Amino acid sequence: MRCTVVGAGAWGTALADLLARNGHEVRLWAYEPDVVESINTKHENLRFLRGHPLSSSVKALGDVNRAVEGAERPARYRDPRRWWWRPKESKRKHSA
Structural domains of the chain, with CATH: 2-82 (3.40.50.720)
| CB neighbour list of residue 12: distance below 8 Å, 6 or more residues apart | 5, 6, 28, 77
Nearest to 5 by CA among 30, 23, 37: 30
CA distances from 64 to 19, 30, 46, 73, 81 (A): 19, 8, 20, 14, 19
pTM for the whole structure: 0.76
pLDDT in tens, the chain (96 residues): 899 999 999 999 999 999 999 999 999 999 999 999 999 999 999 999 999 999 999 999 999 999 989 888 666 655 555 544 444 454 555 554
